Structure 1
């Protein structure tokens, strides 16, 4: 058990049978009142962000989550297949659980990611901060259209659309931020 006053961002906890990742904590101590601890947490099974609150002196169960280094291999149509970097054992994860992540997983495979698991249950895939993807389709730049921040739409090899600067062309490889899906530079 973990004392609630020791709770930090990045820790995983079990509360009411649900598995949470702590995103932020706030400790509120008033003059005569008992300390209250508020935490913004992410449910690792559903992906929902919620707020939890405890009184000082409470304890919470700490969860030991494993991170497994894997490489993205291929798409079966219903599942995405990852291979363990150590023993090449496959992990199949249903595509509907990885709606956001599949925007950054190229059909060529080979991207190294981490799988987060708890007691054998696969929770999610942790992508690198930035990935390099090839542009397959790009709007033509309109000359003189630089009055505002000049951006155009480009379609990546995964089908994901991203706004890029006017100088980017078809066939180029760019870096895309996996947290917000925005252009991060040339690769």
Structure 2
């Protein structure tokens, strides 16, 4: 009989071993987004679920999970995907696809299962986006009203969905404000749209449109200038007319 708490094994392809770690306590909160001036958000955005760890706890690749952020050789890396590999008597390795949290680049690394890393302490707070000046974005802490900035490079693709006064989530790594999370959906006004045709009512045909905050999006033929639409910020696609 295996020892209590040992990892469980599932059948896998030849040469590939998949493990599932024992269940650990988790913490999860859900934050609701609401905003104004044509950029109100809809729905809920979940925070990261995962084992509750102290800032200085060390982890191994066996503890990896999607979304986890750890420090390796001075870099902050986020786990996108991972897979356990083991061949004959060789030490098990974990093949990972990772995102460099500073540059945004995607890299692949293979780690020995016994290597140790520090899991980064991730905290989240409510912020409000105020305005942008070039590639500098200004935010205000919704709790103490202090203002701070982030460069476009730290925000990534979410920058194109920003609307003045929109509520976002500020993400802190080891206590330092590093990036923001935009709502999964936003409601924006259509600033311009290609003309439709008389009697258009077919929803599976699309045309080009641009929203009030500059998002280029494909919309159904019946959408016209001045309409408010919901846009998915993860894909940049039209969801529905509001």
TMscore range, shorter length:
0.7 to 0.9
Change (3 A) 1:23 1:130: same
Out of 147, 151, 154, the residue aligned to residue 90 of structure 1 is 147
TM-score normalised according to structure 2 size = 0.69
Q: CA RMSD in A?
A: 2.3
| Matched residues, number | 185
Q: Shift in Å at residue 92 of structure 1?
A: 1.4
Aligned: 1:67 with 2:124: yes
In the alignment, which of 162, 175, 183 is matched to residue 230 of structure 2?
175
Match of 1:55 among 109, 112, 129: 112
Larger Rg computed on CA atoms: 2
> Quick one: structure 1 residues 12 and 90, their matched pair in 2 at CA, closer, same or farther if it must change by over 3 Å?
same
Q: Could you report, residue by residue, the CA deviation over 1:48-99 in whole angstroms, capped at 9, with x for unpaired residues?
A: 1111111121211211122222011222445221111111111212345446
Shift in Å, 1:12: 0.6
Matched, 1:30 2:87: yes
Aligned to 1:124: 179
Q: Per-residue deviation at 1:141?
A: 0.8
1:36/1:132 CA distance change after superposition, 3 Å:
same
Residues 101-129 of structure 1 deviation map (CA, whole Å, 9 limit, x = unaligned):
232112xx232211222245432221111
Aligned partners of 2:202, 2:145: CA distance in 1, in Å?
A: 52
Normalising by structure 1, what TM-score?
Answer: 0.88
How far apart are 1:147 and its partner, in Å? 9.6
Q: Is there any run of 5+ residues in structure 2 with no aligned partner, and where?
A: 1-57
